[in-house]
Amino acid sequence: MIHLDTSFLIRVFVAGSLEDKSLRRWLRTGETVRISSVVWAEFLCGPVSNAIAEDVAELFGEPVPFEGMDATLAAQLYNLTGRRRGSMIDCMIAAIALRNAAALATGNAAGFRRFAQTGLQLA
């Protein structure tokens, strides 16, 4: 299973981009690809057209929810990785991926590598 982060999801809609090609390959090979509710909320902050939002909703289905255990893990990740200002959303996205044993596809690999010590795999 692969979860997309917001930066990756945005770039999926750039025809011919690495993200576009990767998503197409994963879907062709039957890989399960999801987005979290945190990514969905961040993505909808836009700018994004209604048509693109509908395409994302149809393609990925109901977003994976952010649950109480994710909040606990996100706080642990935040504290473990230096309490970096502005990094809580990344911690939340990483926590959901970890709970779901999903690799994370991101356009910001440097920002998520710090979670490798907790078992997060990057796609």
Per-residue 3-state assignment (H helix, E strand, C coil) for 71-120? HHHHHHHHHHCCCCCCCHHHHHHHHHHHHCCCEEECCCHHHHHHHHHHCC
**33 alpha-carbon distance from chain centroid:** 10
b/e sequence 23-58, b meaning 16+ C-beta within 10 Å? beebeeeeeebbbbbbbbebbeeeeeeeebeeebee
What value does the mean pLDDT take over residues 23-48? 96
Cβ(36)–Cβ(93) under 8 Å? yes
In this predicted structure, what is the pLDDT of residue 50? 94
To the nearest whole percent, how much of the chain has pLDDT over 90?
A: 93
User: What CATH class does 2-118 carry?
Assistant: alpha beta
Regarding beta strands 103-105 and 2-4, do their DSSP bridges make them parallel or antiparallel, or are they unpaired?
A: parallel
Helix (H) or strand (E) holding 36: none
**pLDDT digit string (tens) for 91-106?**
999 999 999 999 999 9
What value does the mean pLDDT take over residues 6-22? 96
Q: Domain-by-domain residue ranges, the chain?
A: 2-118
The token pair that represents 21 in the structure block: 């090609």
**pLDDT digit string (tens) for 39-89?**
999 999 989 999 999 999 999 999 999 999 999 999 999 999 989 888 999
In this predicted structure, what is the pLDDT of residue 20? 97
